[in-house]
Amino acid sequence: MAKKRTLEQEVERLKAVYEVANLMNKYEWLLPGCQFDKVVDLFANKTPGVRAEIGSWGVYEGPEGIKKLFGPGGFHEFLQGTAENPKPGLMVAQTNTTPVIEVAEDCQTAQGVWLCPGYGAGVDPDGNVQATWGTCKRAADFIKEDGEWKIWHYHVYGVYMIPFGTSWADLEDPYELERHKEELPDAIKPDRPTTHPLWHYSKTATVDYTPPSPEPYETFDEKMAC
């Protein structure tokens, strides 16, 4: 049976979908642009439980973890350089497509998942600039903080990352690029290990239905957190 909502509730829910989608897309514009302060501000830094997990890097928890991962002097600045001095040749674009967004009936939280085809250029261990294709999945739980939507829980799941010119169906070792990850300085290491093993396409791997597509819900339950 269709929910009975007031006009105000319907308008609030419409706005929530638009604002939450905008928020996730702003993240994708600001992060490659080295706008690290602004990325941190997208997160619910006043709400208990704020966290972010990217692929196999691990989990960053609380507002300090968010700063360690996204803020000035943190993980992404270590990889990309600063806004004033970005690393030449480095480029990454991980688009957000195919959104599924569910706003809670109480309109206090929302959940979203995206398919994220992308590409980039980075410096390999030998110092050469290498072009890569990469696709991932993003999932986020959002929450209202001081009347504004923020990212509360954020999780990136791998699909594939391959050097240009390589077919993802022909990779001998799908996890080779993972093994060449840079060793992080202690100050910006994650707070705990990854909660979900990195999945990478291979001819022997079955597609991993993670994250699941969110379903309509009344009120947020930690069991459904991304």
**Interface with another protein, residue 159, by CB under 8 A:** no
Nearest to 70 by CA among 45, 97, 107: 45
What does the per-residue mask of binding to another protein show for 62-101, with x meaning CB under 8 A? -------------------x-x-xxxxxxx-x-xxx----
Measured CA to CA, the distance from residue 139 to residue 114 in angstroms comes to: 7
Measured CA to CA, the distance from residue 39 to residue 141 in angstroms comes to: 16
CB of 95 to another protein, least distance (A): 4
**Interface with another protein, residue 169, by CB under 8 A:** no
Cα 210 to chain centroid distance, Å, stands at: 14
Beta-bridge partner residues of 119: 93, 133
Q: Which is nearer to another protein, 63 or 117 (CB)?
A: 117
Look at residue 24 and give its three-state secondary structure. Answer: helix
**Interface with another protein, residue 111, by CB under 8 A:** no
Measured CA to CA, the distance from residue 141 to residue 107 in angstroms comes to: 12
What does the per-residue mask of binding to another protein show for 10-29, with x meaning CB under 8 A? -x--xx--x--xx--xx-xx
What residues between 128 and 157 interact with another protein by CB under 8 A? 129-131
Number of C-beta neighbours around residue 54 at 10 A = 21
Q: Which of 3, 5, 106, 121 binds another protein (CB under 8 A)?
A: 121
**Interface with another protein, residue 45, by CB under 8 A:** no
**Interface with another protein, residue 168, by CB under 8 A:** no
Separation of first and last alpha carbons in the chain: 28
Which stretches of 81-133 are DSSP H helices?
Answer: none
Q: What angle do CA 50, 54, 118 make, to 5 degrees?
A: 125
How many residues form the binding site for another protein (CB under 8 A)? 39
Q: Which is nearer to another protein, 22 or 213 (CB)?
A: 22
Q: Which is nearer to another protein, 51 or 156 (CB)?
A: 156
Beta-bridge partner residues of 183: none
Q: Which is nearer to another protein, 92 or 225 (CB)?
A: 92
Query: What residue ranges bind another protein (CB under 8 A)?
Result: 7-8, 11, 14-15, 18, 21-22, 25-26, 28-30, 32-35, 38, 81, 83, 85-91, 93, 95-97, 117, 119, 121, 129-131, 164-165
